[in-house]
Amino acid sequence: MRACVATSALLLPFLATSCMDLSSMRGESHYMSGYTQKREHDWKSSPLPDDVSYWDGDHLTGPASIRINLTQQKAFFYKGGQLAGVSKISTGKEGRGTPSGTYKVTMKNKWHRSSSYGVFKEKGTNRVVDDDAEAHNEPVPPGCYYEGAPMFNYLNFAPAIGMHTGYLPGYAASHGCVRMPDQMAVKFFENAPLGTPVTVER
């Protein structure tokens, strides 16, 4: 699932005895929303100029709908059939692809955090000791705690799959979710009520 799985397995004996800092040993890794030690305070940023995303739908009315194009790596928001906004996105990487199909928004959570992917932090200091933790597959090291990756402005539309604010490296890189620039994730979140149709196409 991750390039660093083998490394993590080799380090487990050490993790069992201490909450050691792995950041210098493993390098930077990216998971669901790009929340890493390096980006702990600027996870909303994107390394590429955004000449794709825009919102021009505040004056529009009518039922909302969302179309996600995996090939174009874009999401389109409609109101009453009229295009209200376009957002660049980062969808599921190879082996963890975002499923195509027709869905509906089933849950909204402004401050959602992942229950599966995140970081291990040292209790007392909050120092990140593992920036690519999988909550269900790794034991929490002694003296540490798990913090889920931020998936703010979360719109769930398929089992364990949703749209949310996240890091966009310029290609499909997530574990299945649809990452968006923060300003666009906010607009999609505010304008998509529960039940909003979501179409994912290739």
CATH code assigned at 116: 2.40.440.10
Which residues, at least 6 apart from 155, have a Cβ–Cβ distance to it below 8 Å? 105, 107, 108, 162, 163, 164, 188, 189, 192, 196, 198
Return the structure tokens found at 108.
Answer: 């909204």
Name the H helices within the chain. 5-15, 23-26, 182-191
Active site residue 144: no
Decide: helix, strand or coil at residue 154.
strand
- For the segment 101-110, what is each residue's pLDDT rounded down to a tens digit? 999 999 999 9
Which range of residues forms the domain containing residue 57?
Answer: 5-201
Contact 81, 67 (CB under 8 A): no
**Structural domain count of the chain:** 1
Backbone angles phi, psi at 13, to 5 degrees: -60, -35
Active site residue 4: no
pTM for this entry: 0.74
Catalytic residue among 19, 30, 112, 164: 164
- For the segment 40-97, what is each residue's pLDDT rounded down to a tens digit? 334 444 455 677 899 999 999 999 999 999 999 999 999 999 999 999 999 999 998 9
Decide: helix, strand or coil at residue 111.
coil
Return the structure tokens found at 76.
Answer: 């389109």
Catalytic residue among 19, 30, 144, 177: 177
